[in-house]
Amino acid sequence: MKRLTRKSILKIRIYKPGKPIEEVKRELGLREIIKLASNENTLGPSSRTLKALRDYLPKIYLYPEDSCFYLKRELAKRLKVRMENFIMGNGSDEIMELISKTFLNPGEEVIYGHPSFLIYEIVTRIMGGRPVPVPLKDYAYDLKGILKAITKKTKIIFICNPNNPTGTMVGEKELKAFLKRVPGRIIVVLDEAYKDYVERRDFPDGIRLLKKNRNIIILRTFAKIYGLAGLRIGYGIARKEVIDLLSKVRLPFNVNSLAQAAALASLRDKEQVKRTRRMNALGKRFLYAAFQDLGLEYVPTQANFILINLRRNGKRICRALLKKGIIVREMSAWGLNNYIRVTIGREEENKRFIQILKKALKGGRK
């Protein structure tokens, strides 16, 4: 079968997501599990969203509304962008794939920070493109380094802002200066999955930048702050001519009906977003203090997760946590063998994580 497979596919490393709760229950026979591995909103969706799902259930025998009209209309109203400037996806991951399928030719280059979201490399290799990872600087995207990496073959640049897995952010002034120097033939993708958690005031206004830069594509998701990760729904914002091209490779009915109904209800529930932001801010400060007490280095975050340097084998600590029912992300897939990434959860989840982490760290010294 390998002889029949496109050569670029053979180079792809399979993406391994964080372990699901049910799998850990089966493997270890545990009843209580706390999952802090995949940057989900542990508050879950709002009651308004759940009601919208229940109300729509009798209609799931029908195919979805393919254009996501009502959801686009609500987004357009809130973001002050025309409906024609949106494309909806089965998670923002799908839109990344659509971008590579639409614009990337074999041998062309895609630049992104390293370490960053692992899907950038995968969608590049699917189309036979050449991944060009540029090392982060102080855990943040090095935009000057990315500019130096541009060649005649560069087609796409991904900027994860805030960056996953470090939680760091590129500011507006820095990004504006960067975009002025990027050749107009290159597509710049601003992946803003964690935008709603940002506390800094200088986060770039991607939509305003889009109006001045033809080749920007903004990606956002309902998986994070809206708590809809299991329904898989995200969206892209770009100029109409870009959306029209992406739509040529989008398969019909890619966003299911329940996802559309839940996303629409979530947009109309501002209190849920406020509750989540408040929980995240308080949890972040609690975890910072706990890590300082433990003498652990961590990366200050603008997202809903924290990258921690354990200065010892991260896999071993993750296994110790897992045995006690705490799922976090070990970072060897990013080349960060001594690190773990933990999602900021509810107060009781954060406290339990720190309690078990202390014991795991003591065990690791023996």
Instruction: Tell whether the model's pLDDT for residue 243 goes beyond 70.
Output: yes
305-347 residue pLDDT tens: 999 999 999 999 999 999 999 999 999 999 999 999 999 999 9
285-316 residue pLDDT tens: 999 999 999 999 999 999 999 999 999 999 99
Q: How far apart are CA 194 and CA 190, in angstroms?
A: 11
User: 28 or 87, which is more confident?
Assistant: 87
pLDDT score for 249: 97
216-229 residue pLDDT tens: 999 999 999 999 99
Instruction: Tell whether the model's pLDDT for residue 116 goes beyond 50.
Output: yes
Q: How far apart are CA 106 and CA 362, in angstroms?
A: 50
Tell me what the mean pLDDT of segment 2-17 comes to: 88
Tell me what the mean pLDDT of segment 240-260 comes to: 97
Instruction: Tell whether the model's pLDDT for residue 72 goes beyond 90.
Output: yes
Q: How far apart are CA 185 and CA 187, in angstroms?
A: 7
pLDDT score for 366: 41
Q: How far apart are CA 160 and CA 291, in angstroms?
A: 25
Instruction: Tell whether the model's pLDDT for residue 269 goes beyond 60.
Output: yes
Q: Are 194 and 303 in contact (CB under 8 A)?
A: yes
Q: How far apart are CA 308 and CA 355, in angstroms?
A: 16
pLDDT > 70: what percent of the chain? 99
pLDDT score for 300: 98
Angle at 347 between CA 344 and CA 348, to 5 degrees: 110
Tell me what the mean pLDDT of segment 183-191 comes to: 97
pLDDT score for 166: 98
Tell me what the mean pLDDT of segment 233-262 comes to: 97
Residue type, 66: D
Tell me what the mean pLDDT of segment 258-263 comes to: 98
Tell me what the mean pLDDT of segment 82-89 comes to: 98
pLDDT > 90: what percent of the chain? 88
User: 366 or 159, which is more confident?
Assistant: 159
Q: 16-25, 59-68, 122-131: lowest mean pLDDT where?
A: 16-25
Angle at 15 between CA 39 and CA 323, to 5 degrees: 60
HSE of 35, CA atoms in CB hemisphere, 13 A: 17
pLDDT score for 251: 96
Tell me what the mean pLDDT of segment 174-187 comes to: 96
Tell me what the mean pLDDT of segment 275-282 comes to: 97
- Strand stretches in 249-303, DSSP E: 297-299
Q: How far apart are CA 167 and CA 171, in angstroms?
A: 13
Q: How far apart are CA 238 and CA 342, in angstroms?
A: 32
Instruction: Tell whether the model's pLDDT for residue 7 goes beyond 90.
Output: no
* Nearest to 303, CA basis, from 163, 170, 206, 188: 163
Tell me what the mean pLDDT of segment 74-87 comes to: 97
pLDDT score for 17: 83
Q: How far apart are CA 195 and CA 224, in angstroms?
A: 10
The residues, any chain, with a CB within 8 Å of residue 85's CB and separated by 6 or more, are 76, 237, 238, 239, 240, 243
Q: Are 352 and 34 in contact (CB under 8 A)?
A: yes
Q: Which two tokens stand for residue 258?
A: 């329940």
pLDDT score for 44: 94
Instruction: Tell whether the model's pLDDT for residue 353 goes beyond 80.
Output: yes
Q: Identify how many contiguous H helices and E strands the chain contains and give both numbers.
A: 14, 13
Q: Which two tokens stand for residue 342?
A: 């933990």
Instruction: Tell whether the model's pLDDT for residue 145 goes beyond 70.
Output: yes
Angle at 324 between CA 326 and CA 316, to 5 degrees: 80
Instruction: Tell whether the model's pLDDT for residue 20 goes beyond 90.
Output: no
pLDDT score for 2: 87
- Mean pLDDT estimate for the chain: 95
Q: How far apart are CA 72 and CA 324, in angstroms?
A: 43
Q: Which domains occur in the chain, in start order?
A: 13-44+271-364 (3.90.1150.10), 47-267 (3.40.640.10)
